[in-house]
Amino acid sequence: MADVVHDLQASPAAASRPVVFRGGLFVPRTHRLIGFAALVALILLWQAASSLGWVSPVLAPSPGEVIDALWRMALSGELATHLSASLLRLAGGFAIGVTAGIAFGMAIGLSSLVRSPGATLVAALFPIPKIALLPLFILWFGIGESSKVATIAFGTFFPTVIATYGAVDNVDRSLVRMGRSFGLSSFAIISKIILPGALPGILSGLRIASSIGIVLLIAAEMIGANEGVGAMVLAAGNLMQSDRLLAGVVVLSLLGLAVSGLIGAIEKRLLAWR
């Protein structure tokens, strides 16, 4: 053995050359700090462009003006009014859509009776841009809160159903067979094997549903509401108050971040085993 090693060490001959390195590449690393710095740089650039008079303050107010507008709306209580109106609609619609979606998705995933009609129906209705149904919902439920909540519920329902039954389909059938072979009840198999197994897929469905929900929320508020961030943005645009308009946009992007952060936290907690 030692001889072999010795030979190897002795032999790097004239003709030897290193093996060409072919690892690495296409494995981007993330640097939080660099990402953050890029964002700050962009904002500074924007501020500089405004201060130097390169862009009209009416078309594109400076970051400072936007923050100022946001601050004033916060102090006057205007922000709270609009934001709480929006949050209530979003929460209501999302809760209804997602609960119904998970239940229906499970039914499609588990029952042959529901599967064929259910999956076909979902496939047929999913492509409808849900905001197109708002006028119909206004006819049914009136111009008030219900029609907006219904639009959001309807819009979040479909991606949730599709994600849920896809996730149920993907649960390892050998685990289900294991459960049956140990005599677990159907309820135990659903609650202890299928549901936890489908959870990762369901949660990523909720992510998609939440972003669709926010889009629908704003659209619905722009069509017919006095309060709500969407209504506020629209009103600001009509009055050419671009600082308030962008303040609303900032609030919306923060809302999106908060919702996705919340889902991320839930994932982290429930899917710790991964």
Q: Does 31 bind other proteins (CB under 8 A)?
A: no
Residue closer to other proteins (CB basis): 192 or 207: 192
Q: Does 196 bind other proteins (CB under 8 A)?
A: yes
Q: Which stretch binds other proteins (CB under 8 A): 13-21, 136-144, 172-180, 227-235?
A: 172-180
* Least gap, CB of 98 to other proteins (angstroms): 21
Residue closer to other proteins (CB basis): 190 or 255: 190
Choose which of 15, 23, 238, 273 interacts with other proteins (CB under 8 A).
273
* Least gap, CB of 185 to other proteins (angstroms): 6
Choose which of 134, 150, 193, 246 interacts with other proteins (CB under 8 A).
193
* Residue type at position 133: L
Binding-site size for other proteins (CB under 8 A) equals 20
Going by C-alpha positions, the residue among 86, 27, 68 that lies closest to residue 242 is 68
Q: Does 186 bind other proteins (CB under 8 A)?
A: no
Choose which of 91, 188, 240, 254 interacts with other proteins (CB under 8 A).
188
Choose which of 9, 112, 174, 238 interacts with other proteins (CB under 8 A).
174
Where b means 16+ CB within 10 Å and e means fewer, 140-163 reads eeeeeeebbbbbbbbbbbbbbbbb
Mask: binding to other proteins, 242-271, rule CB under 8 A, as x and -?
-----------------------------x
Choose which of 44, 136, 178, 254 interacts with other proteins (CB under 8 A).
178
Q: Which stretch binds other proteins (CB under 8 A): 17-25, 82-90, 177-185, 229-237?
A: 177-185
Residue closer to other proteins (CB basis): 189 or 217: 189
In the complex, the residues that contact other proteins under the rule CB under 8 A are 172, 174-175, 177-185, 188, 192-193, 196-197, 271, 273-274
